[in-house]
């Protein structure tokens, strides 16, 4: 079942089309990762489907409720606010109690403390928000998005500015929410994180969804060929790879030479034995050769 259904959605600021004819379905119970470069339109998309800003054209439904009736769906959507919208003079726990009442959240104080613990703020309940670090402010925004027990949780950059341990906490929290049957829509610049946690990923570029699928489908869908890293002494440079390619009469593409290894692309795994044989027979010493996993970053760069 679709929790979000977007049809031909367009958003303009002045004459600039920031979202261009977007079609997208987000299914119940999935974690959907939305990625794109700065200014691609991710926040605008969130603002549009949550009614913070008006669409220019097209339509959308949230939990089957059409955008003209969006107010009826709002209680079931938890949107992570921007840190600048926090009430800095309030203590963390009091802030969540206050926002919780507005959201119709029935949680008791101990339950709200549990929520704070889940987002990694167990020691900050009685501290004023203005004393929080940026990462802590992000965490309380995530907690705020969960008030009122929403079915759809929208997290815009939840892990930016957050330390690695807290990033893992947030990942665990997202997985827990999914296990509870919630739908989580999240944006992030951390592609590794998106890869780990998302059931499906959409790549937004210049206001259009350029790629959509499971992380695996997206990684399998990029240019054919196998990327390998080769650790040699001395390091193989571009001209070495060109010579190798000519000698083998195969397209071997030099990608980059790092500090202690070289990345190259060969047409298929079948070429690996000969590549290693040629390197061993050359003037360099071969220490390691391995196939590199495709990453979402590769997909993103190819979008």
Ligand X SMILES: Nc1ncnc2c1ncn2[C@@H]1O[C@H](COP(=O)(O)OP(=O)(O)OP(=O)(O)O)[C@@H](O)[C@H]1O
> Which residues are near ligand X by CB under 6 A?
13, 18, 36, 38-44
What are the C-alpha distances in Å from 262 to residues 94, 233, 236, 251, 289?
A: 55, 11, 6, 16, 10
Distance in angstroms (rounded) separating the CA atoms of residues 133 and 166: 13
CB of 294 to ligand X, least distance (A): 23
CB of 79 to ligand X, least distance (A): 14
Exposed/middle/buried for 1, CB within 10 Å: 0-12, 13-18, 19+? exposed
Q: Which is nearer to ligand X, 118 or 156 (CB)?
A: 156
Question: Reduced to 3 states, what is the DSSP secondary structure of residue 149?
Answer: coil
CB of 184 to ligand X, least distance (A): 17
Q: Which is nearer to ligand X, 40 or 77 (CB)?
A: 40
Q: Whose CA is closest to 191, among 64, 33, 80?
A: 33
Q: Which is nearer to ligand X, 41 or 78 (CB)?
A: 41
Q: Which is nearer to ligand X, 13 or 87 (CB)?
A: 13
Q: Which is nearer to ligand X, 46 or 257 (CB)?
A: 46
CB of 40 to ligand X, least distance (A): 4
Q: Which is nearer to ligand X, 40 or 264 (CB)?
A: 40
CB of 189 to ligand X, least distance (A): 7
CB of 13 to ligand X, least distance (A): 3
Stated length of the chain: 303
Q: Which is nearer to ligand X, 79 or 93 (CB)?
A: 79
Distance in angstroms (rounded) separating the CA atoms of residues 94 and 75: 21
The first and second tokens of residue 27, run together, are 């299914």
Question: Reduced to 3 states, what is the DSSP secondary structure of residue 245?
Answer: helix
The first and second tokens of residue 299, run together, are 């997909």
CB of 195 to ligand X, least distance (A): 18
Alpha-carbon 47 to chain mean position:
17
Q: Which is nearer to ligand X, 123 or 192 (CB)?
A: 192
Distance in angstroms (rounded) separating the CA atoms of residues 263 and 180: 42
CB of 208 to ligand X, least distance (A): 12
Distance in angstroms (rounded) separating the CA atoms of residues 162 and 216: 26
Distance in angstroms (rounded) separating the CA atoms of residues 179 and 157: 21
Residues with Cβ within 8 Å of residue 225, at least 6 apart in sequence:
253, 265, 266, 267, 268
Alpha-carbon 16 to chain mean position:
25
Question: Reduced to 3 states, what is the DSSP secondary structure of residue 170?
Answer: helix
């Amino acid at each position: 079942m679709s929790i979000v259904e977007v049809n031909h959605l367009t958003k303009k600021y002045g004459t600039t089309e920031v979202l261009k004819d977007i079609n997208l379905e987000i299914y119940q119970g999935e974690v959907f990762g939305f990625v794109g470069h700065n200014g691609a339109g991710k926040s605008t998309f969130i603002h549009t489907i949550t009614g913070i800003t008006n669409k220019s054209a097209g339509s959308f439904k949230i939990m089957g409720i059409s955008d003209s009736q969006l107010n009826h769906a709002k209680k079931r959507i938890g949107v992570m606010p921007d840190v600048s919208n926090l009430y800095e003079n309030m203590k963390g726990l009091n802030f969540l109690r206050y926002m919780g009442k507005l959201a119709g959240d029935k949680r008791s104080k101990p339950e709200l403390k549990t929520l704070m613990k889940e987002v990694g703020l167990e020691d900050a309940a009685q501290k004023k928000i203005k004393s929080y670090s940026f990462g802590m402010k992000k965490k309380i925004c995530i907690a705020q998005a969960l008030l009122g027990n929403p079915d759809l949780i929208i997290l815009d950059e939840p892990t930016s500015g957050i330390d690695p341990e807290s990033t893992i906490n947030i990942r665990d929290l997202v997985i827990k929410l999914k296990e509870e049957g919630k739908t989580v829509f999240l944006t992030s610049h951390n592609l590794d994180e998106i890869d780990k946690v998302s059931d499906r990923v959409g790549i937004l570029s210049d206001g259009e969804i350029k790629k959509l699928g499971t992380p695996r489908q997206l990684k399998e869908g990029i240019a054919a060929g196998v990327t390998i890293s080769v650790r040699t002494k001395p390091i193989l440079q571009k001209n070495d790879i060109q010579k190798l390619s000519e000698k083998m009469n195969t397209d071997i593409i030099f990608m980059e030479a790092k500090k202690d290894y070289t990345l190259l692309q060969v047409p298929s795994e079948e070429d690996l034995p000969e590549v290693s044989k040629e390197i061993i027979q050359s003037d360099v010493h071969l220490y390691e050769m391995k196939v590199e996993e495709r990453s979402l970053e590769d997909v993103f760069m190819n979008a």
